[in-house]
């Protein structure tokens, strides 16, 4: 993303402050990381305004970044947030101490589920998810090279259209809670052995609890098997997540939500 002039309200807050840049390839977004702030610059999407509303609604309910300023222009939108620091759950320390990791992941999920959602400003139910998935399929935005090896091909679905049709026909009964929407280990921060931050809240809202469980399960699996990071941690079974949560696995829902995420 090219260097650009910032809206005046945001420029006043960050003027002269050093920052590093984290470009997020496919989205065309840019993250500027300051000592105390994080500035996300992205092409305009109306859904981002919903994210800002949820983040403001969550202040005082969960440890999330505080929205300090939000500005939208014709092409871009700018969200300036407080910077949350801590170790990510995929930090090497936690991968080497999986019992601690699992206890923290379970705690983070329960923190989300314990939030009263009666006045939550955003719904991320299956109607919403499948509508967005359909748009992505129709616009050719699904990257099948990034999918699980068995999702597409001889032993899987012929193409994203076939997967979308299956998802439409096999909707599970939801158990609505506050859902992070992208509950992966890098999005949960820990300090002094306690959850100190939930970040990357672009899909946060009311949704089936099994969506977060499914993405957590997949994240655990691939952080330990070397898919992410390249290092294999043997003798870890992602099924241990259910012991940490004290629940029985619902394999149909796990499979469904992992497949749904393949279209995003």
Supply the DSSP symbol for 158. Answer: S
Distance CA 70, CA 55 (A): 12
Rg, Å, the chain Cα set: 19
What's the CA gap between 264 and 42, in Å, rounded? 17
Phi-psi domain of 86 (left: phi exceeds 0; alpha: psi -120 through 50; beta: other): left
Strand partners, 176: 208
DSSP summary character for residue 157: B
The count of other CB atoms within 10 Å of the CB of residue 113 is: 14
Establish whether 182 is a catalytic residue.
yes
Sign of CA dihedral 252, 236, 224, 179: positive
Catalytic residue among 182, 203, 208, 261, which?
A: 182
Q: DSSP code of 145?
A: G
Residues in contact with 251: Cβ distance below 8 Å, sequence separation at least 6, in sequence order = none
Helices (H), the chain: 8-14, 46-58, 92-96, 98-113, 126-138, 160-169, 209-224, 240-245, 251-261
Residues annotated as part of the active site: 182
């Amino acid at each position: 993303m090219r260097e650009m002039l910032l809206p005046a309200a945001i420029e006043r807050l960050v003027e002269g402050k050093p920052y590093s840049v984290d470009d997020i390839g496919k989205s065309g977004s840019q993250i500027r990381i300051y000592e105390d702030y994080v500035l996300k610059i992205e092409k305009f999407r109306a859904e981002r305004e919903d994210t800002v509303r949820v983040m403001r609604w969550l202040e005082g309910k969960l440890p999330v970044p505080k929205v300090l300023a939000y500005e939208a222009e014709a092409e871009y939108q700018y969200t300036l947030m407080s910077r949350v620091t801590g170790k990510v759950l995929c930090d090497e320390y936690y991968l080497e101490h999986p019992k601690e990791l699992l206890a923290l992941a379970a705690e983070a999920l329960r923190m989300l589920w314990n939030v009263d959602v009666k006045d939550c400003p955003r719904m991320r139910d299956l109607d919403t998810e499948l509508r967005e998935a359909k748009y992505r399929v129709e616009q050719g935005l699904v990257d099948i090279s990034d999918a699980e090896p068995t999702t597409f091909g001889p032993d899987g679905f012929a193409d994203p259209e076939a997967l979308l049709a299956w998802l439409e026909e096999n909707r599970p009964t939801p158990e609505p809670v506050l859902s992070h929407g992208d509950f992966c280990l890098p999005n949960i921060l820990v300090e002094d052995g306690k959850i100190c931050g939930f970040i990357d809240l672009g899909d946060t809202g009311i949704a089936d609890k099994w969506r977060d469980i499914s993405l957590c399960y997949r994240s655990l699996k691939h952080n330990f098997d070397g898919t992410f990071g390249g290092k294999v941690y043997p003798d870890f079974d992602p099924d241990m997540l259910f012991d940490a949560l004290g629940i029985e696995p619902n394999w149909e829902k796990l499979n469904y939500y992992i497949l749904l995420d393949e279209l995003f």
